[in-house]
Structure 1
Amino acid sequence: MRRSVAIGAMLLGILLVPGMSLAQPSTARDGTASAVAQALDRRDDTIEAFYAARDFRAAWHDARRVEALAEALRDLAADGLEPADYGAERLLADHRQAREAGDQAMGRFDTATTRTLLTALRHLHHGKVDPRRVDPDWEVPINERLPPAAAIEAAVAAGEIAALFDRVRPSYAPYERLRQGLSRYRELRRLGGWPRLPEGPTLRPGDVHPDVARLRERLVRGGEMAVAAADASILPGATLEAPDPERFDAELEAAVKRFQRRHLLEVDGIVGPQTRAALNVPVGRRIDQIRLNLERARWLMHGLPEAFVLVDIAGYRLAYFRPNGETWRSRIVVGRPYRRTPSLRSRITHLTVNPTWTVPPTILREDVIPKVRRDPDYLARQNMQVITPSGQRLAPWQVDWSNPGNVMIRQSAGPDNALGQVVVRFPNDHLVYLHDTPAQGLFAREQRAFSSGCIRVQGVIEFAQLLLDDSGSERDLRALLAEGRTRNVPLAEPMPVVLHYWTVHPDPAGHLEFRPDIYQRDDALLRALDRPLSS
Structure 2
Amino acid sequence: MNKLYILLLLCVFISCKKDQKNAVQKTKKALPAIVITDARTIDIDTALINAYKSETLKQFYLSSDNKTIWGNLKKRSYVLSQLKKSDELGLNPNDYRVKKMNLYETQINKLNNKQLAEYDLLLTHNFEKYVIHLYEGKLNPKYLYRDWALEDKDLKINTALVKSFNHNTLDSLVKNIQSKSPTYKQLLKALKLINDFPDDNIKTIEASEKIVFKDTNPALINIKKRLLYWNDMSGKDSLTTIYDSKTLEAVKKFQSRHGLIPDGVIGASTIHAMNISKEKRKHQIIANLERWRWYPNEFSENYFIVNIPDFKLHVVEKNDTTAVRNVVVGTSKRKTPVLTSTLKSIVFNPTWTVPPTILKEDVVPAMKRNRNYLKNKNITIYNTAGHEVDPANWNINKPRSYRYIQKPGYYNSLGLIKIMFPNNYSVYLHDTNHRNYFERSNRSLSSGCVRVENPLELARHILDDSKNWSKDKIDTIIARKKTTSIKITKKYKLYQWYWTAWSEKNQLIFRYDVYDLDEDLYAKLRN
TM-score (norm 2): 0.86
Match of 1:313 among 303, 308, 330: 308
Q: How does 1:135-534 map to 2 (within 5 A)?
A: 135-145=145-155, 149-157=158-166, 160-190=169-199, 192=200, 194-199=202-207, 202-226=210-234, 228-229=236-237, 245-323=240-318, 325-469=320-464, 476-506=473-503, 508-531=504-527
Task: Give the Cα–Cα distance (whole angstroms) in 2 for the partners of residues 315 and 324 of structure 1.
Answer: 20
Residue type of the alignment partner of 2:362: D
Task: Give the Cα–Cα distance (whole angstroms) in 2 for the partners of residues 456 and 208 of structure 1.
Answer: 40
Q: 1:118 aligned to 2:113?
A: no
Residue type of the alignment partner of 1:518: V
Give the superposition deviation at 1:193: 5.2
Task: Give the Cα–Cα distance (whole angstroms) in 1 for the partners of residues 447 and 410 of structure 2.
Answer: 20
Q: How does 1:95-114 map to 2 (within 5 A)?
A: 95=105, 100-114=110-124
* Aligned-partner SS, 1:268: coil
Give the superposition deviation at 1:76: 1.3
Alpha-carbon spacing, 1:27–1:423, altered in 2? closer, same or farther (3 Å):
closer
Alpha-carbon spacing, 1:473–1:17, altered in 2? closer, same or farther (3 Å):
farther
Task: Give the Cα–Cα distance (whole angstroms) in 2 for the partners of residues 328 and 279 of structure 1.
Answer: 31
Task: Give the Cα–Cα distance (whole angstroms) in 2 for the partners of residues 24 and 411 of structure 1.
Answer: 66
Identity %: 27
Task: Give the Cα–Cα distance (whole angstroms) in 1 for the partners of residues 197 and 32 of structure 2.
Answer: 52
Alpha-carbon spacing, 1:472–1:431, altered in 2? closer, same or farther (3 Å):
farther
**Does the 8 Å contact 2:346/2:485 carry over to 1?**
yes
Give the superposition deviation at 1:159: 5.6
Task: Give the Cα–Cα distance (whole angstroms) in 2 for the partners of residues 71 and 113 of structure 1.
Answer: 11
Q: 1:81 aligned to 2:114?
A: no
Partner of 2:144: 134
Residue type of the alignment partner of 1:81: L
**Does the 8 Å contact 1:434/1:454 carry over to 2?**
yes
Task: Give the Cα–Cα distance (whole angstroms) in 2 for the partners of residues 129 and 303 of structure 1.
Answer: 20
Match of 1:67 among 53, 58, 77: 77
* Aligned-partner SS, 1:332: strand
State how many pairs are aligned: 500
**Does the 8 Å contact 2:32/2:162 carry over to 1?**
no
Residue type of the alignment partner of 2:516: Q
* Aligned-partner SS, 1:314: helix
**Does the 8 Å contact 1:31/1:103 carry over to 2?**
no
The one-character-per-residue Cα deviations of 1:174-205 (angstroms, maximum 9, x if unpaired) are 22221222122222144x45454344764321
Give the superposition deviation at 1:324: 7.7
Task: Give the Cα–Cα distance (whole angstroms) in 2 for the partners of residues 511 and 271 of structure 1.
Answer: 21
**Does the 8 Å contact 1:436/1:456 carry over to 2?**
yes
Residue type of the alignment partner of 1:380: K
Alpha-carbon spacing, 1:470–1:529, altered in 2? closer, same or farther (3 Å):
farther
Task: Give the Cα–Cα distance (whole angstroms) in 2 for the partners of residues 25 and 225 of structure 1.
Answer: 57
Give the superposition deviation at 1:353: 0.9
Shifted more, 43-52 versus 173-182: the winner is 43-52
**Does the 8 Å contact 2:380/2:405 carry over to 1?**
yes
Residue type of the alignment partner of 1:499: Q
* Aligned-partner SS, 1:428: coil
Give the superposition deviation at 1:108: 3.1
* Aligned-partner SS, 1:177: helix
Task: Give the Cα–Cα distance (whole angstroms) in 1 for the partners of residues 345 and 41 of structure 2.
Answer: 61
**Does the 8 Å contact 1:386/1:409 carry over to 2?**
yes
Alpha-carbon spacing, 1:22–1:79, altered in 2? closer, same or farther (3 Å):
closer
The one-character-per-residue Cα deviations of 1:439-474 (angstroms, maximum 9, x if unpaired) are 110000000111111110001111122121189986
Give the superposition deviation at 1:45: 5.3
Give the superposition deviation at 1:245: 4.5
Task: Give the Cα–Cα distance (whole angstroms) in 1 for the partners of residues 185 and 26 of structure 2.
Answer: 31
Residue type of the alignment partner of 1:526: Y
Give the superposition deviation at 1:77: 0.7
The one-character-per-residue Cα deviations of 1:134-186 (angstroms, maximum 9, x if unpaired) are 2122211132325x645423433566544332221222222222122212222
The one-character-per-residue Cα deviations of 1:471-504 (angstroms, maximum 9, x if unpaired) are 9986753343233211221112442111111122
Task: Give the Cα–Cα distance (whole angstroms) in 2 for the partners of residues 224 and 320 of structure 1.
Answer: 30
Alignment root-mean-square deviation, CA: 3.1
**Does the 8 Å contact 2:101/2:122 carry over to 1?**
no
Residue type of the alignment partner of 1:34: D
TM-score (norm 1): 0.85
Give the superposition deviation at 1:429: 0.8
**Does the 8 Å contact 2:178/2:297 carry over to 1?**
no
